[in-house]
Amino acid sequence: MGTEVYSLVLIEWEDSTQPIAKWMYLSDFECANAIKCASVGWLIHDGKEVKALAPNMGDLGFEDSAQASGIIRIPSRCICRITHLKEVK
């Protein structure tokens, strides 16, 4: 199993902002916009509800021991665009 089994993609998506940890008066609350994000990696899961990207792959020459780290799961409903990238050999 190598990276050729998986598509190399750029996913543009939206995420929420960080929670506000401190106490505040609701009258002082200002709602922030969604955060625009971009992630690049091999699409290792292309499900209807969620996509999973692996930016780091290892042991690719061995099907039973192929590994990935830094995997990110992105809800499909948050995805704005997926661009398939061409790998340079």
**pTM for this one?**
0.82
Q: Please report, for residues 23, 33, 62, 85, the alpha-carbon distance to residue 54 in angstroms, rounded to integers and kept in the order given.
A: 37, 27, 17, 14
Task: Tell me what pLDDT residue 4 has.
Answer: 61
Tell me: the pLDDT tens digits for 17-76? 888 889 999 999 999 899 999 999 999 999 999 999 999 998 877 667 889 999 999 999
Name the domain count of the chain: 1
Nearest to 48 by CA among 77, 72, 28: 77
- 57 in a domain, yes or no? yes
The residues that bridge with 69 in the sheet, in sequence order, are 56
CA distance 89 to 77: 33
Q: Which domain holds residue 53?
A: 3-19+30-84
- 9 in a domain, yes or no? yes
- 89 in a domain, yes or no? no
**Helix, strand, coil percentages in the chain from 3-state DSSP, rounded to 5:** 15, 45, 40
pLDDT tier at 1, thresholds 50, 70, 90? very low
- 75 in a domain, yes or no? yes
- 25 in a domain, yes or no? no
